[in-house]
Amino acid sequence: MDAFATSVGTALLTVIQCTLVVAILSVTAIFLAYMDRKVWAAAQLRRGHHGARPGSEQQSLREMLTLALRETTTPADAKIPIMFAAPLLTFTLALIGWAAIPFAESWVLSDLNIGVLYLFAMSSLGVYSVMFSGSASGSEYSVPRSLRSAALMLSFQVSMGLAMASLLLSTGSLNLMSIVAAQDGRYGIASWYWLPHLPVLAVFFISALAATNRPPFDLPEAESEIVSGYRAGYSPGPDLVRMVGEYLNIALICAVGTVLFFGGWLSPIPTAIDPFGDGVFWFLIKALTFLFVFAVTKAVVPRYRYDQLMWFAWKVCVPISLAWVLISACLAKFEPSRRWCPTIAPSRVRWKAWCST
């Protein structure tokens, strides 16, 4: 280990760690795609993954390899540098967002004091990838659909930001570790933020679907459209990079929801034993449950008209999340009794002191 003590060794170690993270997350995207299709097929009783013989787990891997090995072509009027940079931007933003996710109390790459703001910024930058994809292909169909996708994502990101703000007022910190520590109460699952912040949990989930372009918020690129939305003109190779980035974004938003609302690595029962010892097991179980709900929503919720979704964003989600921010601010200002209001916990020490009184 003395070889890594020098500046060159530190740089080499950083490169090795980044390579391992990219490899692990890329392989994880394959399993996420398989899980998504398996749940979707089971919910709608479709053939394919639902009725496939044992060994069909390789089907997703074979399809990804087929897409990666196909010829890459570009339209005549395409802006090639921007066209290839857009899927890479989606993939890169999904990767660097994982740097701030705490898997356990000692399992985090970067314990940022502004972790929530960092994750929200990474999520917001994904809109540029959609805009670049639509404008760079040179298609008259992709540009308006990229505008529709960007408007839909930005509308629901407003409600998502307000939903996250109410939790920040309850905790008094932007640090993700502090948010998890504030949910560490003697009542286990009843001490987590999903219970006192249940209205904004629903808003956060709906906004997360829109931020990751999941059904029913994928209207500009749905099967009923003339072309494939802002992705028109893309070859299978670059489109595969974008698809992997979207699956990693889905996993990232599920991890964020686990940390903010479901106690991160905390056990649902205070006396329960974690097989891994650090709480990673509970974190993975919660994140996979979030992913399962994402997959089921894709199978059972129909698509609505674009104007109906925009109306729902600005007339339902934004007012609810804004009202909850005001309620949380009032509770934080006047500090009512913590015995019935566990939503205000600036630190782990004060939280435990309040619960013991």
Residue 66, CA distances (Å) to 3, 57, 239, 289 in order: 41, 15, 12, 30
The span from the CA of 317 to the CA of 296, in Å, is: 21
The candidate with the shortest Cα–Cα distance to 329, out of 347, 343, 350, is 343
Instruction: Output the average pLDDT for the chain.
Output: 79
The span from the CA of 99 to the CA of 78, in Å, is: 34
Residue 203's pLDDT is 92
Greatest extent of the chain over all pairs of C-alpha atoms, in Å: 71
Residue 355's pLDDT is 39
The candidate with the shortest Cα–Cα distance to 258, out of 337, 167, 170, 187, is 167
Residue 90's pLDDT is 86
DSSP string, 240-255: HHHHHHHHHHHHHHHH
Inter-residue contact 171 to 346 (CB < 8 Å): yes
Residue 356's pLDDT is 39
The tokens for 314 are 């600005």
Q: pLDDT class for 315, splitting at 50, 70, 90?
A: very high
Inter-residue contact 179 to 260 (CB < 8 Å): yes
The span from the CA of 211 to the CA of 259, in Å, is: 18
Residue 357 has pLDDT above 50, yes or no: no
The span from the CA of 151 to the CA of 274, in Å, is: 43
The span from the CA of 305 to the CA of 311, in Å, is: 10
CB atoms within 10 A of CB 121: 12
Residue 342's pLDDT is 42
The span from the CA of 241 to the CA of 86, in Å, is: 10
| Segment 152-166 mean pLDDT | 88
Question: What backbone phi and psi angles, to 5 degrees, belong to 227?
Answer: -125, 180
Inter-residue contact 175 to 113 (CB < 8 Å): yes
| Segment 144-158 mean pLDDT | 84
CB atoms within 10 A of CB 281: 17
Enter the pTM of the model. 0.83
- Strand-pairing partners, residue 104, are 107
DSSP 8-state class, residue 343: T
**Is 260 in a helix, a strand, or coil?**
helix
Residue 198 has pLDDT above 60, yes or no: yes
Residue 239's pLDDT is 82
> Phi-psi region for residue 24, left (φ > 0), alpha (ψ -120 to 50) or beta?
alpha
Residue 52's pLDDT is 57
**Is 235 in a helix, a strand, or coil?**
coil
Alpha carbon 298 to its chain centroid, in Å, reads 15
Alpha carbon 235 to its chain centroid, in Å, reads 26
Residue 276 has pLDDT above 70, yes or no: no
Residue 94's pLDDT is 85
Burial class (CB in 10 A: 0-12, 13-18, 19+), 73: exposed
The tokens for 317 are 């989600």
Q: pLDDT by residue (tens digit) across 32-91?
A: 888 888 887 788 777 665 555 665 667 777 777 887 788 777 777 778 888 888 888 888
